[in-house]
Amino acid sequence: MSLAIICSGGDAPGMNPAIKKFVDYVYEKGETPYFVFNGLDGLIDGQISPAKHKDVAGIVHRGGAIIRSSRSKRFYEYEYRKKAYENLRKHDISGLVMLGGDGSFRAMDRLSSEFELNFVGIPTTIDNDIYGTDTCIGVDTALNVIRDALDKIRDTASTFSRAFVVEVMGRECGYLAAVSAITSGAEICLIPEAEFNKSVALKHLKKEIAEGRNYILSIVSEGTKMTAELARWLEKEIGMETRITVLGHIQRGGSPTVNDRMLAFEFTVRAVDHLLGSKNSNKVMVIEHGRYGMREIEEVVERKYRIDPELLGMLNLLD
C-alpha cells in the first residue's frame, strides 16, 4: 500500500517532525511513503515522488516544511480537483495524510465528496482554530516565540516608561493573544471573541499609574483590526508614549518545541494506522482533555471552534 503526505496552507513548527515520523513509520509498517510537494498546487501538477529515509534525516529540529506548502485558487475548480485525484491514482496512492488547518480540511472535504479518497487530516496551524481539538501542531512553539518577544518588549517598556501594543497572529481566533496575555502578565488583551471595555480598562490603568505603574503591555489579536486604534487610545486617554510591534511571521518559524514534536509524532502514527486499516474514511485527528481521537471531516469543517470559557474568564482578571 502507498501512502502520501502533503502540507497545505500556512506553515507551522512541527510539520517536519510529522513528515519524518510519517516516512519512518510507513516504512516500518512495510508500505511505501510518498511526498506531495508544494501543497495543493503540487497535487494538481503531479509533484509526487517516493520518500526515502535520507530525505528526512536531521529535519526534526527544523521549522517550516521540507516538502513545502501552498494555497491554491485552482483547487476551487472541479477540473483541477479531478486532476489532483487522478495524480494520486497514477501512483496507486490509497491514503493521504494532510498537515493543515481549516481551509485545507475544507478542500479535502470537497475532494472526498467527489472522489473515493482515504484521508486523515492532522491539525497543523498556529491559529488553533480547528473544531474538536484542544490544540494543533505549531501552537506551543508559536506561544513560546511570542512569550520570548513579550519578555524582551517588557524590558524596553519598563525602561522608557512606555506603552507597547503587540499584535499577534491567529486570524479570527484570539487563542494566541489570550494565552500570551495571561502568561505574560499583560495589562490589556483584545481578541475577536470579547468586547474591549474601555471605561473599565481606563479606570484600572489610571489607578495603577497613580500607584506607580510606569509602563503598559497590551496584546492584540490581528483579527480585531484594532492595533492602531488601541495605540491612539492609550496615548490620548492614558497620556503615555506608545509603540506598536507587529510580530508577524516569526510566530510561524523556529525550531518546534518538545510538545509540538511529540504531538506531531503521535498524530502521525495514529493517522497512518487508521489509513492502513480503512477505506474511504475521511477523518481529522484531535486531542481532547489529553486523549487522542478522531472526528469526521464534515463535523470539523461545519462547526466553529470556540475558546474555552474558562480561558476567557481568566482574561477578565486583566481588567
Give the residue numbers annotated as catalytic, written as ranges: 127
Reading the block at residue 140, the C-alpha cell is 506551543
Separation of alpha carbons 184 and 173, rounded Å: 19
Q: What is the DSSP string of 88-123?
A: HHHTTEEEEEEEE-HHHHHHHHHHHHHS---EEEEE
DSSP letter assigned to residue 187: S
Separation of alpha carbons 4 and 132, rounded Å: 24
Name every residue whose Cβ is closer than 8 Å to that of residue 155 and which is 6 or more positions away in sequence: none
Residue listed under C-alpha cell 502514527: 269
Separation of alpha carbons 55 and 115, rounded Å: 30
